[in-house]
Structure 1
Amino acid sequence: MRVLTSFNLTELRDIFKELGLEPYRTGQVLDWVYKKFETDFQNMTNLSKTHRSMLSEHFKVHTLELVSKVPAEDSVKYIFRTEDGHLIETVLIFERDHLTLCVSSQVGCAVGCKFCATAKDGLLRNLTTSEIIDQYLLVQKEAPNRIRNVVFMGMGEPLANYEAVRKAVEIMVSSWGIDLSKRRVSISTSGLVAQIRRMAQDPLMKELNLAVSINAPSQALRETLMPISKTNNLEEILQALIEFPYPPDRRIMLEYVLIKDLNDSPKQAQALAKLIAPYRRKFKVNLIPYNPDPSIPFERPSMEGVYAFQEVLRKYNISTFIRLSKGIEVFGACGQLRSKRLELMVK
């Protein structure tokens, strides 16, 4: 049985045509799925009973099963099971005036960042387009308001699953799909140079917000924290970002996880500032105090240290913000998502 949310508008029209359905029926069905969050074809009342039965025989809408929800004051962590038994996490974040959904793009992650719990399990597999879209649909169906922002900052490296992520983005931002603004969809990457350059040439993907994990002011330290830097070095990443075709009013987000006594000293702040100051109009820096995890022997720096680091960057006129993660107490924050822990939670 085909999964309806695996296809874009053109593909679905072709499939409907093969089934003997008129092209406009595609729009009707997609409106039910992406605007009304309907999953039962029998409830799509502007279709004939014959068409509803036919669609029920050929398609399903969801592939994920909701296993549990873990609420916190500022967020809700959703745990889903895939059809082949893997567990993934999605986090609904309550912002001051809107909702943001942090979606996963892989089961586990192959990047291997030393400060990230997801990396502990390695990469089990990529998520499909439908599994990515399902995270949004299932959460939105019960969310108190419309989810306006989507960030690909959950489990996995989005740019290592480029095709599935791209099609999911197409569904998210198209008027026939979920119809989000491109300016409200963010892709976070550990810095895959070839894929950043591919994204820069992609008419759809280059319109999104881009966030890149830097986490160190030098190649040597970055290799220690992020082994992937051995093949995607800091100089190459910066060059790819400097060349990224954003208009003058948009900036790339450089994410910097501050870890006590590793990368949080004023000297390292100054080194980072000197590295990016010549291109400060291209970037803004998000400082993220490390989110503790019992499986990782790192510590969060004091807030005084975080503010001191920020102040050094500001002296170089670099736009710098402190991002305090939400969902920490339920292991739903940046760097805390982990499949193995989920297996223990749902047993």
Structure 2
Amino acid sequence: MINLKEFNYGELERWVRQQGWKKFRAKQIAKWLYNKKAGSYDEMTDLSKEIRKYLKENTELNALELVTYQQSKEDGSIKFLWKLKDGHTVESVFIPERGHNTLCVSTQVGCAVGCTFCFTTRDGLIRNLTTAEIIDQYIQSQRFVGFEPEKRISNVVYMGMGEPLANYENVKKSVQILTDDRMLGLSNRKITISSSGIIHQIRKMYEDQSFPQVRLAVSLNAADQETRARIMPISETNTLEDLMKTLNSLPIKTGYRIMLEYVLIKDLNDSPEDAHRLARLIGKNKKRYKVNLIPFNPYPGSPFERPDEKRVNQFHKILWQYNIGAFVRWSKGKDISAACGQLRKKEMEFHIKVL
């Protein structure tokens, strides 16, 4: 059966007309799906009974089923475990922040990139998520937290399970739905796609006129090729030198600086020498980048450790001395394994609340 959340607005309009209905029905359906975030077809009261009956019998409304959730006692973050139609599971995280709320969404079941410091990659790649499965993480998370103005999810980061640009078409369509004013209507500036650095896909995204311009974050994690290849095998074919050449050449609009994500790992990439090396790598392109320093988030069986706060602050200070815009992100949701690099497709452990 077709899930209507697979369609961007143009596709939804075409599908509506194929059913022999008038074009304005697409606007009505989109309103219920995305503005009202309806949980059933019966709620769509301005559609005729015949249309609602047809939709019930021939389409699916929900792509996910909420299995469990955990809420952090430290910062209020909520980690959701969703069950897909084929029985696989993925996670997403609601993050309350000062003045806005962010949702971290997954794009794949597992991940094939193989970063050695990331828990998600332990399961390998099972499959890509569909457009509907990506979008439904947003819609059902919003339903769960409520519709009060202060609960509105205004920011979406593609930083959950998987490499977003390895699921290019479905991610693109989900971004179209998120940013279309006739659908979810989020600001392009409030959406960030994080990539491990697949060079040809990054170029493709910037050259693709149908891909709404959103923010790009790139997992750098080392300022030399040897270290980066050690912890990110993708760097063997997408070298640090080629990656930086590509990023330095991208057309960047004002206010759309590229985020360089740098996970700080004790005694691996966190020394003052590493900080100076990173500054030299950025060089004269300081206005093009922001650096997001993320102290490593441990997970069961991890061979790595988090550096202490003094070491993190020293690294940060050195970048500032070069006038490089950098900040430290002490990840939220650590107490529920919802922080950066901790998501995994298995059932959650400890203190699980089952709905």
TM-score by length of 1: 0.97
> Residue 101 of structure 1: CA displacement?
0.2
Per the alignment, residue 233 of structure 1 pairs with 239
Cα RMSD between the aligned structures?
1.5
> Residue 52 of structure 1: CA displacement?
1.4
Q: What is the aligned residue count?
A: 347
Per the alignment, residue 222 of structure 1 pairs with 228
Are positions 1:179 and 2:185 aligned together? yes
**SS at structure 2 position matched to 1:134:** helix
Per the alignment, residue 59 of structure 2 pairs with 59
Q: Which moved more, 1:18-27 or 1:195-204?
A: 195-204
- Answer yes or no: is the 8 Å Cα contact 1:206–1:246 preserved in 2: no
1:166-315 equivalences under 5 Å are 166-205=172-211, 207-315=213-321
Instruction: Give 1:71's aligned amino acid.
Output: Q
- Answer yes or no: is the 8 Å Cα contact 1:260–1:299 preserved in 2: yes
**SS at structure 1 position matched to 2:287:** coil
Cα distance between partner residues in 2 of 1:197 and 1:312: 31
> Residue 343 of structure 1: CA displacement?
8.4
Per the alignment, residue 47 of structure 2 pairs with 47
- Answer yes or no: is the 8 Å Cα contact 1:93–1:101 preserved in 2: yes
Q: Which moved more, 1:51-60 or 1:99-108?
A: 51-60
State the identity as a percent.
49
Cα distance between partner residues in 2 of 1:10 and 1:241: 32
1:25-104 equivalences under 5 Å are 25-73=25-73, 74=75, 75-104=77-106
Cα distance between partner residues in 1 of 2:300 and 2:35: 41
- Among residues 324, 327, 336, which one is paired with 1:321 in the alignment? 327
| Larger RCO (CA within 8 A; separation ≥ 6) | 2
- Answer yes or no: is the 8 Å Cα contact 1:217–1:271 preserved in 2: yes
Are positions 1:110 and 2:116 aligned together? no
**SS at structure 1 position matched to 2:17:** helix
**SS at structure 2 position matched to 1:56:** helix
> Residue 312 of structure 1: CA displacement?
1.0
Unmatched 5+ stretches in structure 1: none
Structure 1 runs of 4+ with >6 Å offset = 343-347
Are positions 1:330 and 2:347 aligned together? no
**SS at structure 2 position matched to 1:278:** coil
Instruction: Give 1:301's aligned amino acid.
Output: P
Cα distance between partner residues in 2 of 1:285 and 1:335: 17
Cα distance between partner residues in 1 of 2:302 and 2:260: 23
Kindly provide the CA deviation profile for residues 286-321 of structure 1, in whole angstroms up to 9, marking residues without a partner as x. 100000111211110011100100111111111110
> Residue 42 of structure 1: CA displacement?
2.0
